[in-house]
Amino acid sequence: MIVVEELRKEYGGFEAVTGSTFTVESGEVFGIVGPNGAGKTTTLKMIAGLVEPTGGTVSVAGMDAGDPDMRRSLGFLPEESPLYEEMTGLSYLHFFADLYDVPGDVADERIHGALDRLDLEHRERKIGDMSKGMKRKVAIARALVNDPDVLVFDEPASGLDPLTTNYIIDFTRELAEEGRTVVFSAHNLFHVEDVCDRVAIMNHGEIIAKGTLEAIREDYGETEYHVYTSVEVPGSVRKNGRHRRVVDDMAAVEDIRAAARDRGGEIEDIRTEDPSLEDIFLEVAGESPTEAAEAVDT
């Protein structure tokens, strides 16, 4: 579990993170999204104990983030993760297992188990000869070598091909299903929407919205109703051989029903479309932080 309360970080008078408060439960995937410079990476580094907060507190697995003992319960994956390129994938992971005093047989089982699930072949290949996707899988396995309860991933699938990305996103969900706490940042909002239980949207160092996707959609999104009729009605367009009109409430749907009936037709189909997280993000990020924070705080 992660508990963040009134977290702040200031660099030379510039507030990179301002008063962030949230919790991440065991078995939950919590996503942090926002534009470049929003404070996402700084927040994750403070959770991981790599950056000391200017104010506020962070508790990870019941320990202060600054407590060295906390590191044994944490797996951290930075966005840029340089590896020892002259080592093979296996020797590199065993090296880190030794640093955590993991017994050799346990480390071997744990390392191969993680690499099997990530579908990484050529484990004896030098890291310098691996593709970017293979290196990323090795870095993820490194974050798991100490069997952590809490995982902090910064852009885990950044710049990877779609197949490798899908492996990593699926694996992230599996880790939460095992009861681990997972918090990560990502630019690809589709992946966040696909895997996260809750999200926080940051802008200018401040959390401007947080909660479940359903709660955020309720406050920011407008459901569209795509109404298909057997005859043309005012405002409809021809699409795939049918007449379609898009409206945003059920009263308008009933008006379409009446208009179709007056013309001897009927409604053939009604489909609802909810806004994507990207749609919501673009809307929320365009508001002032105070207005958005007051609107959603679940």
Two tokens, residue 298: 């679940």
This prediction has a pTM of: 0.78
The pLDDT of residue 287: 47
Contact 288, 202 (CB under 8 A): no
Contact call for residues 284 and 292 (beta carbons, < 8 A): yes
Per-residue model confidence (pLDDT) at position 232: 94
Q: What's the mean pLDDT when you consider all of the chain?
A: 89
If residue 292 lies in a helix (H) or strand (E), which one and from where to where? helix 289-295
Whether residue 252 is predicted with pLDDT greater than 80 in this model: the reply is yes
Looking at residue 115, its pLDDT comes to 94
Whole-angstrom Cα distance, residue 73 to residue 175?
14
Q: Which residue would you say has higher pLDDT here, 250 or 283?
A: 250
Q: In what order do the strands lie in the sheet with 242-247?
A: 237-239, 242-247, 224-229, 267-273
Q: What percentage of the chain carries pLDDT values higher than 90?
A: 69
Checking if the pLDDT of 279 tops 50, the result is yes
pLDDT at 298: 37
Residue 291 has pLDDT above 50, yes or no: no
266 or 36: whose pLDDT is higher? 266
DSSP code, position 68: G
Q: Starting at the edge strand that comes first in sequence, how are the strands of the sheet with 63-64 ordered?
A: 14-24, 2-11, 55-60, 63-64
Of the candidate ranges 2-6, 125-129, 245-249, 292-296, the one whose mean pLDDT is the lowest:
292-296
289 pLDDT higher than 50: no
Residue 246 above 50 pLDDT? yes
Contacts of 99 (CB under 8 A, 6+ apart): none
**Residues 240-250: what's their mean pLDDT?**
87
- Mean of the pLDDT values across residues 146-170? 89
Q: Residue 262 pLDDT more than 90?
A: yes
Is the separation of the CB atoms in 209 and 293 below 8 Å? yes
Per-residue pLDDT tens over the stretch 172-204: 999 999 999 999 998 778 778 888 999 999 999
pLDDT, tens digit, for every residue of 15-56? 999 999 999 999 999 999 988 889 999 999 999 999 999 999
What domains appear along the chain, each with residue ranges and CATH number?
2-217 (3.40.50.300), 223-273 (no CATH)
Radius of gyration of the chain from Cα atoms? Answer: 24
pLDDT band per the 50, 70, 90 thresholds, residue 286: low
Q: Is the pLDDT of residue 106 over 60?
A: yes
